[in-house]
Amino acid sequence: MKLHEYQAKQVFADAGIPTPDSRLASTVDEVMDAVDEIGYPAAIKAQVHVGGRGKAGGIKIATSAEEAREAAESILGMDLKGYTVDRVLVEAGVDFENELYVGITMDRNEGEPVAMVSTEGGVDIESVAEETPEKIAREHIDPAFGLHPYQARKVVFEAGIPNDVAMDVASILGTLYDLYESRDASDIEINPVMITSDREVVAADAVMNIDEDALFRQPELAEMEDEAAGDELEAKANEYGFDYVRLSGNVGIIGNGAGLVMTTLDLVDYYGGSPANFLDIGGGAKAERVTKALDMVFSDENVDSVVFNIFGGITRGDEVAKGINEALEGFDEIPKPVVVRLAGTNAEEGMEILNEDLVQVEGTLEDAVQRAVKNAEEVTQ
């Protein structure tokens, strides 16, 4: 789960990390009130979960009321890479001399967190990592002990941070690790940390992503998740408790188990079709979940055909078949052709239960996918 910049900055500020004076605004008038209080120059920054906001026109600097109004009018309501901007952060501009990068993430190869510091702040850190990896200093952290203060100093000095601010940056890094651990972050970074002309350090941006598997013990952060920001169907999937990812194709896919669902998507592509979604109904799914899954896929207007692929371990084929029948019997006319393939536990019972007036039944994964791709082609023609 991603926090917005304004949310992450609040968390950082509460922990004692210096951040610029700022206000959240959702109308042009609110922006004008905010700049009145903060003064100029002010940065007006779109609050959407999109990288590269600046380049896409989602961040503007205003040096006068006229520019602030123009910026607010152009950013509020704009479409930024598919997301509508409904809130901006109005923030005091910082007169800076240097921009640094500090961040902590999980190094999955080592199975432990790693702290990263660089003098190359203010740009995409992933391209720094690719083009000039020597410019990022790294320090692995033993999760049993946390980040020792000496490690924070070591990585800051290694990165070549100027001496007069090094201890301040090391202190920010220490606080970031405390937040990383206590708030179950998966990534936490400040890019850039600005060094002002008075040699103060300020967090000019804030990224904080939370481990979704840990939200149960981070209730304050869980409340910050705004359902409205994402895709409507993805929000619905969240409500139903499905793992769902929307894609751009027209073959709807429902299955059980992440690996098998991914494989079903890949096969749709392999046989010349285009997958509309990833939908994993999970283990042990009963009839009701099957009905909800079909409802999800049918509500995607891009979907022209559906393939249902279940390999039962704990999931029982007869339960799934009952769910499919129940879901489809509710329609006067089946919205889109549905191909079903059942294997594993109680698959044979399931195949007998399936109403072949409502669905097309196939015996193998390959046959089921090919038939669904063909169905989709027929609809498009």
Is residue 256 within the footprint of another protein (CB under 8 A)? yes
Residue ranges for the known binding site are: 45, 52-54, 91, 94, 99, 191, 205, 256, 313-315
Structure tokens at 10: 């609040």
Please enumerate, by residue number, every residue annotated as part of a binding site for ATP: 45, 52-54, 91, 94, 99
The set of residues, in sequence order, having a beta carbon less than 8 Å from that of 270 and lying 6+ positions away, is: none
Q: Which two tokens stand for residue 284?
A: 């042990």
User: Is residue 82 close enough to count as binding another protein by CB under 8 A?
Assistant: no
DSSP single-letter state for residue 206: -
280 binds another protein (CB under 8 A): yes
| Residues paired with residue 107 on neighbouring β-strands, in sequence order | 112
Task: Please enumerate in sequence order all residues whose Cβ is within 8 A of that of 18, keeping only pairs 6 or more positions apart, or say none.
Answer: 200, 201, 202, 203
Query: Binding another protein by CB under 8 A: which of 343, 353, 374, 377?
Result: 343
- 144-147's contacts with Cβ under 8 Å and 24+ in sequence apart are 146/177, 146/178, 146/181, 147/104, 147/115, 147/173, 147/174, 147/177
Residue 131 in contact with another protein, rule: CB under 8 A: no
Q: Does 329 bind another protein (CB under 8 A)?
A: no
Q: How far is the CB of 328 from another protein (least distance, A)?
A: 23
Which residues does the annotation mark as catalytic?
101, 189
Q: Which stretch binds another protein (CB under 8 A): 38-46, 83-91, 200-208, 339-347?
A: 339-347
C-beta atoms surrounding 121 within 10 Å = 23
Which among 266, 317, 263 has a CA at the least distance from the CA of 290? 317
Binder among 131, 134, 198, 213 for another protein (CB under 8 A): 213
Residues of span 351-380 touching another protein by CB under 8 A: 364-366
Is 51 a residue that touches another protein (CB under 8 A)?
yes
Question: For 311, which DSSP code?
Answer: E
> Which residues form the interface with another protein (CB under 8 A)?
51, 106, 108-109, 111-113, 126, 129-130, 142-144, 181, 184, 186, 211-214, 216-217, 243, 245, 247, 255-263, 265-270, 275, 278, 280, 283, 311-314, 343-345, 364-366
